[in-house]
Amino acid sequence: MYPAAAGVGSSLQYLRKFPEYQNNQLLILAGLEMTIAYELLEARRRIWCSIFWKRSNSATKFAINKKMEGIAFDAGTSIINAGKLLNQYYDRYGIDELDREDWSQIIMSLVCADRWLKEQFGDDCAVKQLTIDL
């Protein structure tokens, strides 16, 4: 498991335990974005582990790398979208004193996931971002 996937998974677990999770559309959408990011990062790991890199030809390696660049970029986009949704929730509803520690765990895990994603796959995300046709 990638550290970024662990961070997103941790944040998602804390979010699901949050008292308002089942009752608030913003939190549900944030949870969906986190689930998407987690699943994308796990798919990337499975793809990476399924290839025999030393025996594969260069065309296969190139195609797989392009696919993994797109997956990393999409996972990063989902993490950012989840953060935006959580910010909207906080701006609208605020956090009670009793829930402040749980909220900080959600945010800290998501921030760490974003940082780890940039550390591990920052180049992949940058390449994908620069090659989008307008």
Burial of 71 (0-12, 13-18, 19+ CB in 10 A): buried
Can you give the residue range of the structural domain that contains 16?
3-130
Q: What is the percent of the chain with per-residue pLDDT over 90, rounded to a whole number?
A: 47
How high does pLDDT run on average in the chain? 87
Rounded CA gap, 4 and 10, in Å?
10
State the pLDDT at residue 99.
Answer: 87
pLDDT in tens, 51-95: 887 788 888 888 888 888 888 889 999 999 999 999 999 999 988
> Taking Cα atoms as reference points, which of 23, 3, 21, 20 lies closest to residue 12?
21
Instruction: Look at phi and psi of residue 94 and say left if phi exceeds 0, alpha if psi is from -120 to 50, else beta.
Output: left
Domain count across the chain: 1
How many helices (H) and strands (E) would you count in the chain?
4, 0
